[in-house]
Structure 1
Amino acid sequence: MVSKKLTPIFTLTIILCATFLPHTVEGILKRCVQCRSRGELGSCKDKFTMNATQIAEEHGVEAVPCASGWCGKIIESQNLNNEYGTATQRMCLQRGPDDYEERCSNTIWNYKKVYICFCLGDLCNASTRTTLPSITLLIVIGFVGRWFIL
């Protein structure tokens, strides 16, 4: 007969691994989406909905290794409110902002008015990230662990 009880040490090990392993893996591999689109042409423009598998299959879109871990997205247009002729570029940045803060803002880049975003993380310039906060993960694992212990 197999016992459904887990030892407290085993449960604690599972909780610690589930909490810290995703952050460790994220720290090892940093990639950025690299592409450029103008107007309606290309797959780089917003709303960018590709996942890592689709990026590998799309012509002109790559997931490139990024040593700094900082990715960027630049939207370049004569009128940032006008979609016609808008160019979107996603890339790896050699370094992030001096204050180490992720953000988006209007600025001047290569003598042009652009809207630029900086983010830190694996493929962060592809889309919004959906990560579960660590405290929520701990609560869920705690409930699941209690079910096995009881």
Structure 2
Amino acid sequence: MFYSVIVLICLSFSFTEAQNRVKYCYVCRSRGPLGDCADPFYLNQTTVKDYKGVEATPCPSGWCGKAIEGKEGDPIIATERMCLQRPPTDQEERCAETLYQNKREPLFMCFCRGHLCNHGTLSVNANVNSLSIVLLVSFLYQFLSS
């Protein structure tokens, strides 16, 4: 039982260290049906190196983005994945239509925080530190109350 507690503590520290590492974002741009940047996006950290024009790039801000120019049914839809220089001012992950660089057509943009989070639709990642602490506390409570 004592060894289980030690293992859980070590796992908690390894999760903390993993979150402090540099985050990466996918960086690419595709127009129309050609290219590997458009949705559905099938690449991952391992396979991305085999494709020209798509990179997993270190992102100092830890915030990634995805922009879609054009609407479904348009002949040409452009998809761009990027590292954001700065996070949104409210620090919230989200997707929304926005006007960008004085263009007439709105742009659909997603902002996310986390390692390679701009792979597809926005998915808010659970805070691993909080989860590991809750698991550790509940385990210790059960261990000490037995």
TM over 0.5: yes
2:110 is the counterpart of 1:117: yes
2:91 is the counterpart of 1:100: yes
- C-alpha distance 129-57 of structure 1, shift in aligned 2 (>3 A): farther
2:63 is the counterpart of 1:70: yes
| Aligned with residue 119 of structure 2, among 109, 126, 129 | 126
Partner Cα distance (2:127, 2:92) in 1: 20
Unaligned 5+ residue runs, structure 1? 1-5
CA contact (8 A) 1:33 1:91 kept: yes
Q: Secondary structure at the match of 1:52?
A: coil
Code of the residue aligned with 1:62 in structure 2: it is E
- C-alpha distance 37-104 of structure 1, shift in aligned 2 (>3 A): same
Partner Cα distance (1:68, 1:117) in 2: 15
2:35 is the counterpart of 1:42: yes
Is the radius of gyration larger for structure 1 or structure 2?
1
Partner Cα distance (1:37, 1:30) in 2: 23
Runs of 4+ in structure 1 displaced over 4 angstroms?
A: 128-133
Partner Cα distance (2:22, 2:119) in 1: 15
Q: Secondary structure at the match of 2:49?
A: helix
2:21 is the counterpart of 1:17: no
1:103 Cα deviation (Å)?
Answer: 0.3
Unaligned 5+ residue runs, structure 2? none
1:44 Cα deviation (Å)?
Answer: 0.3
Partner Cα distance (1:44, 1:83) in 2: 17
Aligned-residue identity in percent: 41
1:87 Cα deviation (Å)?
Answer: 0.1
Q: Secondary structure at the match of 2:118?
A: coil
Q: Secondary structure at the match of 1:41?
A: coil
Q: Under a length normalisation based on structure 2, what TM-score does the superposition of the two structures give?
A: 0.79
Partner Cα distance (1:12, 1:89) in 2: 45
* Count of residues paired in the alignment: 132
Partner Cα distance (2:12, 2:74) in 1: 42
CA contact (8 A) 1:19 1:138 kept: no
Partner Cα distance (1:132, 1:110) in 2: 33
- C-alpha distance 97-61 of structure 1, shift in aligned 2 (>3 A): same
